[in-house]
Amino acid sequence: MGEGDELIKIIVEHTYGTWRPQRDWKTPVFVTDAQGVYFYDAEGKRYLDFSSQLMCSNLGHKNKAIIEAICEQARKIPYIAPSFVCEIKAKATKALLEVMPKGLEKFFFSTSGTEANEAAIKIVRQYFSSQNKYKIISRYHSYHGSTAASIALTGDPRRWFAEPVSKIPGVIFAPDAYCYRCPFKLEYPDCSIQCAEYVDYMIKNEGNVAAIFVEPVVGTNGIIVPPKEYFPRLREIADENNVLLIVDEVMSGWYRTGEWFAINHWKVVPDILTTAKGCTGAYMPLGVTVTKREIAEYFEERFLAHGHTYAAHPMSLAPVPTVIEEYKKLVASGLPKRVSEYLKKRLHELWEEHKCIGDVRGLGHFWAVEIVKNRRTKKPFNTRADKAALKPLKVVELSKEMLKRGLYLLGWISHFIVAPPLIITEEQVDEAMEIFSDVLKIADKEVEE
């Protein structure tokens, strides 16, 4: 047994694998290095990172400027309690203010997207406590985190497993803006956005609603891009009913969709925005919850019942100013815009080539390839119930085969998440597509004519 095998044995025997039965985590890849858009295993095999790990390594691996910013902070002051102020807290805040949608200007810093959403939930419920408004509308195709409140807002099967121990009161689910599988059976683009109008119906009939909590572009659960009318109408509905609009940009932020934040595509400003992942390029764990000034003013004379030992941790904040500058330089180079168009073209060509692909959708460097057994009926290979029952999933089978061939591409229930680092080139896209296309032939053989 080699050193790598011994280390894998220690890990799988003594640590928990996430979001899976532990039987399925016996032979993980032992990663020894990562550079640019690639990572490497103990045998030196190279893998193209076509999902940016967990849709977070937006700037790729081993960016020297980001690493140096972290090292500099470690030498300077690695930790100070959140009640104290240090230089990096001010620098990171100032840098974030430059890129946030205008009007969002008061921050709470935590260490993950889950915590960022947990903070937003607590803030909105405290904000409306005197009005006895506490209910939050989420959507079925959503993921907002793993802690008690954030998993309660999550629509996918991970909530089903967690509900017996972590269900919180006051969470209700709205229809999705899922045009390919519209819950109202409408045909896109001639759509009357009933998915938005129904939210208005829910608020008026449910009562005590405090907030609408949504991902502008749904992440793990399908890279679902709403119609252009959706968010302007949702903003109107929130204002008309005196509820807050909260957007979860944990995955969709940081130029993942071609804008600093996905909500910018709709020219709508939310009341609260949460983000994480790409805000440090995944080089350090950081969660950000940012609110409008009127929400901040509410807490001037009221107790904010929230905090962490590691809130505004200097090491977590250390890369933020540098990361923002790296995004600016990268975008100014024109590479992400050029490659995103190329990626879109190649993915639609993939749809033409493979009858197992039902839908291709996305923005920027954020795409879903949904596979089906029958294009006409849109019959999926697998369902959420299959996932919950721990049945074998076709996307998992195909993802494993791609990994054997040197391509890391995340699959979830019935689709693949194509979300490469923003530094990827056209040639590297071609490299990924060659493997992706070849493996999809396996699913093509099982398509019902």
Domains of the chain (ranges plus CATH)? 3-62+333-444 (3.90.1150.10), 65-329 (3.40.640.10)
Q: Which residues contact 368 (CB under 8 A, 6 or more apart)?
A: 222, 223, 224, 359, 360, 361, 362, 415, 416, 417, 418
What pLDDT score was predicted for residue 190? Answer: 66
What tokens does 178 get?
Answer: 């899922």
- Give the residue carrying structure tokens 């993950």: 112
Q: Give the C-alpha separation, 203 to 136, whole Å.
A: 10
Task: Say whether pTM exceeds 0.85.
Answer: yes
What pLDDT score was predicted for residue 166? Answer: 77
Q: Which has the closest alpha carbon to 55: 226, 261, 278?
A: 278
- Give the residue carrying structure tokens 């904010």: 304
Q: Which residues contact 103 (CB under 8 A, 6 or more apart)?
A: 269, 292, 293
DSSP string, 94-113: HHHHHHSPTTEEEEEEESSH
User: How far are the Cα atoms of 75, 235, 246, 332 from residue 275, in angstroms, in the given order?
Assistant: 27, 19, 11, 23
Cis peptide before 189 (omega within 30 of 0): yes
- In this structure, the chain runs to a length of 449
Q: Give the C-alpha separation, 418 to 405, whole Å.
A: 17
Q: Which residues contact 252 (CB under 8 A, 6 or more apart)?
A: 215, 216, 217, 219, 261, 262, 366
DSSP string, 410-431: EEETTEEEE---TT--HHHHHH
Q: Is the separation of the CB atoms in 202 and 137 below 8 Å?
A: yes
Q: Which helix H or strand E contains 324, and what residues bound it?
A: helix 320-333
CB atoms within 10 A of CB 302: 12
User: How far are the Cα atoms of 38, 233, 249, 435 from residue 57, in angstroms, in the given order?
Assistant: 11, 32, 15, 21
What pLDDT score was predicted for residue 3? Answer: 66
Q: Which residues of the chain have pLDDT under 70?
A: 1-3, 188-190
Q: Is the separation of the CB atoms in 202 and 172 below 8 Å?
A: yes
Q: Which residues contact 168 (CB under 8 A, 6 or more apart)?
A: 148, 149, 152
Going by the DSSP 8-state scheme, the letter that residue 361 receives in this structure is E
Q: Give the C-alpha separation, 212 to 106, whole Å.
A: 20
DSSP string, 59-75: T-B--HHHHHHHHHHHH
